[in-house]
Amino acid sequence: MSVQGRIQKGHKLFLQGNVDLVFEDETMIQFHVKSNEKDYLVSINTNGFRCNECEDWTYRWKPSTNNGGSFLCSHCYAAMFKLAELQGVNSPATLEIPQAKEMS
């Protein structure tokens, strides 16, 4: 799935109410994300984002970082949308995913 596809899936999970804050302290925030009847745990800490249950993370993380990037699954994106909501960035109904502009 493309990056845009993962962002859109994460946004959909968020809008459907499938993301809940389950833990928060000074060093870590964790979210429960439900997708296709399966539960995922997304952790956000000083080292970044990590989906503890997602096979995509396990299988795609290393190749992504070797190429100078990082892999974020749709569950991580869903957690980011929830975090934005909790921080008052925008309301869920108006959180939009901007369309990429074509480069000339």
Provide the residue type at 92 as one letter: P
Confidence (pTM):
0.73
**In this model, does residue 101 exceed pLDDT 90?**
no
**In this model, does residue 89 exceed pLDDT 90?**
no
Residue 82 lies in a domain: yes
Residue 34 lies in a domain: yes
**In this model, does residue 23 exceed pLDDT 70?**
yes
**In this model, does residue 63 exceed pLDDT 80?**
no
- For the chain, the domain total comes to 1
Residue 81 lies in a domain: yes
Residue 74 lies in a domain: yes
Higher pLDDT, 11 or 66: 11
Maximum pairwise Cα distance, the chain: 45
- What does DSSP assign to residue 81? H
Residue 101 lies in a domain: no
Residue 91 lies in a domain: no
| Domain limits for position 18 | 3-86
In this prediction, residue 68 carries a pLDDT of: 46
Residue 68 lies in a domain: yes
Residue 48 lies in a domain: yes
Higher pLDDT, 96 or 85: 85
